Amino acid sequence: MPLVTKFLGRYVYGWHRTLGLLIAIPVILWSVSGALYPIASAITPRIRKDWVNSIIIQEARLPITVRQALQQNNITALHGFRVVSLNRQLYYQVEKKALETPIYLNCTTGEALPNGDAQYALWVALEMLGDAALTNTITNQGLENAINNGNGVKQISRITSFNNAYKKSNKILPVYQIAFDRKDAICLYIDPITSKLAAVSNRSSEAFGQFFAIFHQWTFIQDYSLRLWVLGCFALLAFASGVIGLYIMWITRIKKSHPEIPRQPIRKWHRRLGNVFFLTSILFAFSGVYHIAIQFLPAFNEQVYFDNSQFTTDELPPDFTRFFHKISPQEKLVGLSSAKFNNNLYLRASLLDKANQMTVRHINAADFDVENNGDMKYATYLANIYSENNGSEFAKCYYLLKYDDEYVATNKRLPIVKVAYEKNNHERFFIDPATGRLVSRIVDGDIWERYSFAFFHKHYFWGKILGQESAKTLGGITTVISAIGFIFLTIAGLILFVKRRLD
């Protein structure tokens, strides 16, 4: 041990200085962008709401059934349908095949709405935005005319793959990108299948997003694999520099003068800052390396997992009389869609009771029997397909009404059904029962990386100590303080190096 200590004492300062020079610029770039990251929340545009109002669906408002509307338009098979409200009229939103652009059939006339999906996405965006003047400008000329002529609408396009503007972290595809002709250049990304907001941006948030991507994620390196290697190497060097700095300051505890140590006041500040921020610097670097390393593993692409079932038009009921008999007078029907599983077609009814509590009821389209726990059975059915399980493996099902450590807010969809297996490192599937889409899939290994990044990189450990409400606020404060500390620590180290070279 004395020989090892002597060897380290001889070379450790040189290693620390060399590593510090190599990582100085990367650390400053990461720290500056990290310290400014809370600005993203402040400049994210505020909209009135991120949902559309519930509609009350009454039998009288469906004079033409979905089966009649489909037959009127010569559609013999489909993936699914649901009832939506567009400009105060009800339509059947019909997906012929999963992920294809839906068509919209008027519930009163059965006629197909031209460019219906874009019109519906625009209507949802206007409802969420809550800009009365803009809404009047667009609706007075007609949604279709606004889309074609660009009066009030700067751009509207269907996004089927992630890009620089709509990043993979947004999770949801396909969506409509709707840019409005306003001073702030606000842009909403709408998922028409769920009538929900996927993302929102404006000129300021887009500019900051580009800044952060360049400074923190180094998108100026075009090749993704090369970028990961470069980021990973510098993060690993930063981790090594932090560990060596810890050795110098806490383990060796050298109190005698050393020829490698300049007798400068700046050295005291470098050491003091190191004493304060040594732990956060090491944990920042470690979690960064871990996060990057995970990217090299084969990625599980949730986008390729979805319910692609089909059924014929004739499987739908000729009328809704018996269906509405399954709904009590005290309940309000606020959602009607279809779901097919276990060789049965169901009408999925979303109901509000007197206390405004939401329940979901699956009613068999053939005999109108109620299928208890339909969402759970549907999600388990899909999870067995996605996991290639024949049904022999026991699965536990949970209804999730809020986000947690495993199903985080970036998934953007609630309520959700979690289906958990014992096999494959406790494989868990999170399925949206309203659409049949797989939102997320995790195993035990994913959890450790998420904890590492959330606790060590974003400082969300405050949520475990003081509750989730404080996690983001306190996490942001301590992250900013640490990032500023890294900047001064690095600058002090650079000044020490320059002074030593000049002496």
Q: What are phi and psi of 47, to 5 degrees?
A: -115, 165
Per-residue pLDDT, 345: 96
Say how far apart CA 302 and CA 440 lie, in whole Å.
6
pLDDT category at 298 given cuts 50, 70, 90 is confident
Per-residue pLDDT, 346: 96
Per-residue pLDDT, 469: 66
Residue 174 in tokens: 């396909």
Per-residue pLDDT, 395: 73
265-295 helix and 224-246 helix, angle to the nearest 10 degrees: 140
Average pLDDT on 19-48 reads: 86
**pLDDT > 60? residue 262:** no
Per-residue pLDDT, 296: 85
SS (H, E, C) 76-100: CEECEEEEEEECCEEEEEEECCCCC
Helix (H, G, I), strand (E, B) or coil at 249: helix
The full set of domain ranges for the chain reads 2-42+214-299+454-502, 59-202, 373-435
pLDDT-above-70 percentage for the chain: 91
CB under 8 Å to 317, separation ≥6 — which residues? 65, 67, 323, 347, 365, 368
**Ranges assigned E (strand) in 160-288:** 175-180, 187-191, 196-201
CB–CB of 258/12 below 8 Å? Answer: no
Helix (H, G, I), strand (E, B) or coil at 335: strand
Q: What is the pTM of this model?
A: 0.86
Per-residue pLDDT, 426: 86
How confident is the model over 371-419, as pLDDT tens digits?
999 999 999 999 988 887 766 677 788 899 988 888 888 888 889 999 9
